[in-house]
Amino acid sequence: MRKVTLKNIYQHPITQKYVRRSGMAHAISVANHAFHLAKTYGVNPDLAAKAGFLHDIGHYNWYRNGEWDYQLYKNCDIHPIKGAERAHKLLVRLGEDKQAAKEIAHAVLFHTESALPEGNFQLSPLQKVVHLADEKDKQPGDLHHYRNIDPKDELRLIEKLDTKIDQHEDSEIIV
């Protein structure tokens, strides 16, 4: 039995503030991709969906004179680091298993190249799944961050994914 559901995470004010900033539709979509990729890579679908959902929670708005400054963002952004810490704090606050919170935080930290050291860095299967799930949802011109859906549909999709995760967990239980 999971201690924390996606719905618990979705409804928290921290999620509403920070995940919405970088795109709720994108976050839900990446959570779904991560859930499906988890099966292929043999990782825990619950952790994959949560890390996918929270992967961009560290984003900050890099505006200069009312316009998004891509160069400033590229030079100064630390969203994977901020996101890892923010996701970890939120999950622990919600009562998530501490080991799971750590794994999810690491997957958030390594979801994009910007926080990776140079050279042959080996991602764990969970980190790889979250990276690939994010790549799958990316749109030209970073449009994925600006896609919107009706909040009622957001909740419906979150609940649907929670059900799929629960069904997967039930099927894993040996009787």
Binding residues for Fe ion restricted to 20-59, rule: CB under 5 A: 56
CB of 18 to Fe ion, least distance (A): 13
Binding residues for Fe ion, rule CB under 5 A, total 2
CB of 62 to Fe ion, least distance (A): 15
Q: CB-wise, 96 or 134, nearer to Fe ion?
A: 134
Binding residues for Fe ion restricted to 112-171, rule: CB under 5 A: 134
Binding mask 55-94 for Fe ion (x = CB under 5 A): -x--------------------------------------
CB of 164 to Fe ion, least distance (A): 21
Residues 6+ apart with CB under 8 A from 97: 3
Binding site for Fe ion (CB under 5 A): 56, 134
